[in-house]
Amino acid sequence: MSFCSFLGGEVFKDHFQPGIYVCAKCGHELFSSRAKYEHSSPWPAFTETLREDSVAKREERPGALKVTCGKCGHGLGHEFLNDGPKRGQSRF
């Protein structure tokens, strides 16, 4: 499964089959379906990355980190701190 930018019809938002989500550009493993949850945003939402090196992060503004592929640097969106389904969890 490739995780890609929202282009007006994100195909993986409501996709909950077991598997691994990978970078659309290089195939690097990013997220497990076990970390995916339903959210009101138009993008798929995850609570955590598959591995520590799955993504790279840099602060964009307080409470939001810019997230890129840990291997090729392809833009993946944001990590919103303390905006996950449980208290203290992030939302990717």
Q: What is the CATH number of the domain that holds 46?
A: 2.170.150.20
Which residue is it, tokens 């992060």? 57
Model pTM above 0.85: no
* Domains held by the chain: number: 1
Q: Within a domain: residue 3?
A: no
Whether 55 and 40 have beta carbons less than 8 Å apart is answered as no
Q: Within a domain: residue 47?
A: yes
The whole domain housing 37 covers: 20-91
Arithmetic mean of pLDDT over the chain? 85
Q: Within a domain: residue 29?
A: yes
Q: Within a domain: residue 65?
A: yes
Give per-residue pLDDT as tens, 56-85: 999 999 999 999 999 999 999 999 999 888
